[in-house]
Amino acid sequence: MQQHTKSSLNTDFTKIFINGQWRKGASDSNMTNTNPFTGETLFEISAANNDDLDDAYQSAKVAQKEWAKVPALKRQGLIEEFLKVMYEEKETIVNWLIKESGSTRIKAEGEFLASVLIVKEAATFPLRMHGEIRPSVVPGKENRIYRKALGVIGVISPWNFPFHLAVRSIATAIAIGNAVVVKPATDTPVSGGLIFASLFEKAGLPKGVLNVIVGRGSEIGDSIVEHPVPRLISFTGSTEVGRHIGELAGKHLKKTALELGGNNVFVVLDDADLDRAVESAVYSKFYHQGQICMSTNRILVAQSIHDEFVEKYVARVKELQFGDPSNGRTQVGPLINQSQVDRIMEEIEKTKAAGATVRVGGEADGNVIAPTVVTGVTNDMPLAKNEIFGPVAVIIPFKDDAEALELANSLPYGLSGAVHGSSIERATEFALQVETGMIHINDQSVNDEPHMPFGGEKDSGLGRFNGEWVLEEFSTVQWLSVMHERRQYKPFFE
């Protein structure tokens, strides 16, 4: 095993990171990293090309063979050291989330805490790579099952929760004994990628085990998946891109872990505690400007309590503070870029034209959309049938539980959801019939716990993250049998 020493944190993010070295990308094009609130250019970076990608994967392949041989306690110690470095560099991480992804300080602090919990869980994985001994149908024979690291994993991280949604794959893969190549989203090259190179470098990770490349999807996007080295591609992002990645991976017989889009429902049954449901639904919709795969997309409210719910909900939304994400009191900050703003504003106008009413908000200032509530919405209107991914709440009435269930399951997504009602049994019976990977009673839809299975159904993805479920995704098993006696091959040999 190569010797390594801990170093100070590198903060020059104008280079990519391959085989333990910071170097310029070899592409002819540069990429600009921009603050989504101020429009300020944070820095420019020379993009990676396919030669860089190949170097990264080949370096990871070589390093992984040695890394997998490192004793479990040493790999665990490395992850624990990485966690220590995370705490030491918390302000650096939080500040990059604010200035690069438009996170409010509230959200950035929350994302850091969620990441800490994920890393703590990952630190347990080296000692959870359990094998088995099983009996055989052949006399005198023993069956052994060994769990092993997959090899090299390609990680494509998103821009909305870039640190958390990258670390849940990176730390897990490394803890198990895999090596990793990360391509962060172009909007968040630091908080979704390059900062991990710095943090793990400071923690003393051997070179080549983690490599980070920053490049355009148009130049290296398909190659990340199709390159012969990676055994699994971990992707968090849109259903459209995820489907394309799944097709490429399937063609090359690679595993995928895909967490994709959602059109999550928040159902308020007629026996719900309204004040509790309103508070939960405001958080569920507007946390991080609604730019979360688990954010509530449609609020379904029983007809008998609809008007009272809307009145209370609009009043709470009017109280939300929005604007500068660096202000500690801001609850709703900017969207990641202007194209997202333009898309959402267009869908607001189309939904209004279809007969809906904007009760509050509906305006944009730069990349900040004021917290918006739209009523008179039906399930076929643009804001209802499409994933909003922004600070716009749509409220849809239903006459009974059967209609609510039909509305909930009518669209091809199934990531998360929530149901509010005083009768836990009734709410649970309803929730079990919603076609979704995750759903929460008398809570909001944005839940993620490091030891619980995270993932969706239908067009919301494949596989599960967290706990033993991600351990299963990021490893493989080998069957080895041992004959303890001389085997009789009758009737082949008489």
Residues recognised as catalytic: 259
CA distance 59 to 70: 17
CB 154 within 8 A of CB 232: yes
CA distance 18 to 172: 20
CA distance 341 to 334: 9
Instruction: Dig out the tokens for 457 from the structure.
Output: 């159904």
Q: What is the CA radius of gyration of the chain?
A: 24
Per DSSP, what are the bridge partners of residue 234? 155, 257
Q: Which amino acid is at 325?
A: P
CA distance 2 to 98: 36
The CA-based dihedral angle spanning residues 368, 374, 379, 384, taken in that order and rounded to the nearest 10 degrees: 0
Longest dimension (CA), the chain: 88
Sheet bearing 475-483, strands edge to edge: 132-135, 141-149, 475-483
As to burial, measured by CB atoms within 10 angstroms (0-12 exposed, 13-18 middle, 19+ buried), residue 283 is middle
User: Quick check: helix, strand or coil at residue 159?
Assistant: coil
User: Quick check: helix, strand or coil at residue 385?
Assistant: helix
Per DSSP, what are the bridge partners of residue 299? 266, 395
CA distance 465 to 473: 8
Q: Which amino acid is at 492?
A: F
As to burial, measured by CB atoms within 10 angstroms (0-12 exposed, 13-18 middle, 19+ buried), residue 238 is middle
CA distance 386 to 121: 34
Q: Phi first, then psi: give them for residue 452, nearest 5 degrees.
A: -115, 150
b/e per residue 49-74 (b: at least 16 CB within 10 A): bbebbbbbbbbbbebbeebbebeeee
Per DSSP, what are the bridge partners of residue 395? 299
Per DSSP, what are the bridge partners of residue 182? 155, 212
Tokens 């749509």, residue located: 394
User: Quick check: helix, strand or coil at residue 356?
Assistant: coil
